[in-house]
Amino acid sequence: MTLFVIILALLWIVLYLYEVRKIKWSASLIARMAMFAAMYFVLSLVTLYKLPQGGSLSLVCMLPIMVCGVFYGPAVGMTVGVIAGALNLLTDFNVIHPAQLMLDYFMPYMAYGLCGMFGSNNRLLVVLAGFITSFMVVGCNILSGVVFFASYAGDMNPWIYSIIYNMSTNGVESLLAIIVLSVLPLARLKKYMTT
C-alpha cells in the first residue's frame, strides 16, 4: 500500500510540474499569491476544535486557496496550496514517512487549488469543482490514515476509523468552505482581484 501512495505522490508532482509551466509570473501575481497564502494561514489559526491524534476544524481556512484557484486557475491555486502546505508543516509538524508528508501536507492543499478546473464564470461549476476537490482532499487524508495511522483505530476497521476521523475535520471544513464559496460574489471579487 505504501508503494501505491508513493506512486500516487509522484504522479501528483508530475501533474503539478506540468501545470506550473502555464503560469505567467509577475510581481503582481506573486504578491496576490502571498496574500491568499497569508489569508489561509490567519484563518488556520482560528481553530474551532482539535482532535487528540492531530487534525482540527478551522474557520474555512481552505477557502482562500479555493478562491485563488477559481480566480487564477489551477496552476496558481496549486502553487498557493504548496505554500499553505509548507506553512501548515511549520506549525503542525507530524511526519512519519515521506509519502505521508505528501498525503497530509501537500496533496490536499494543492487539490483545493484545483477548484478553478472548470473556470470561474459558472457558479454551479465552481461549486461542483469545490465538491470534487474536497473529495480528493478527504480521500488523501483517509488514505494517509489507513496506511500510516491505522494503529490508532484499535479494534475498529482502519478504513471506517479513518473515514469518520477525517470527515469530522477536513470533511466538515470542506463543506463549510463550499457553502461560503457558493454565496460569494465571485464575479465582482474577480474583477477587483485580477485587474
Q: How far apart are CA 78 and CA 101, in angstroms?
A: 16
Any idea what the Cα angle at residue 178 is, between residues 183 and 8, rounded to 5°? 150
> What is residue 193's predicted lDDT score, i.e. its pLDDT?
78
| Residue 2 is assigned to a structural domain of this protein | no
| Residue 58 is assigned to a structural domain of this protein | yes
Please name the helix (run of DSSP H) or strand (run of DSSP E) that holds residue 20, with its range, or none: helix 2-20
| Residue 6 is assigned to a structural domain of this protein | no
> What is residue 92's predicted lDDT score, i.e. its pLDDT?
80
Reported in sequence order, the residue ranges of the chain that DSSP labels E, i.e. its strands, are 47-50, 56-58
| Residue 17 is assigned to a structural domain of this protein | no
Query: CB–CB of 1/147 below 8 Å?
Result: yes
| Residue 102 is assigned to a structural domain of this protein | yes
What is the number of residues in the chain? 195
| Residue 20 is assigned to a structural domain of this protein | no
Q: How far apart are CA 64 and CA 190, in angstroms?
A: 13
Q: DSSP string spanning 24-57?
A: ---HHHHHHHHHHHHHHHHHHTSEEEE-TTS-EE
Cβ atoms < 10 Å from Cβ of 195? 6
C-alpha 153: how far from its chain's center? 24
What does each of the 195 residues of the chain score in pLDDT, given as a tens digit? 678 888 888 898 898 999 899 899 999 999 999 999 999 999 999 988 887 777 788 889 999 999 999 999 999 999 999 999 999 998 888 888 888 888 888 999 999 999 999 988 899 999 999 999 999 999 999 999 898 888 888 899 999 999 999 999 899 999 999 999 999 998 888 888 776
| Residue 115 is assigned to a structural domain of this protein | yes
Query: CB–CB of 72/32 below 8 Å?
Result: yes
| Residue 182 is assigned to a structural domain of this protein | yes
Residue 63 is part of which domain span? 25-193
> What is residue 27's predicted lDDT score, i.e. its pLDDT?
95
> What is residue 195's predicted lDDT score, i.e. its pLDDT?
66
- In three-state secondary structure terms, 26 is coil
CATH of the domain at 41: 1.10.1760.20
Please count the structural domains in the chain.
1
**This prediction's pTM:** 0.91
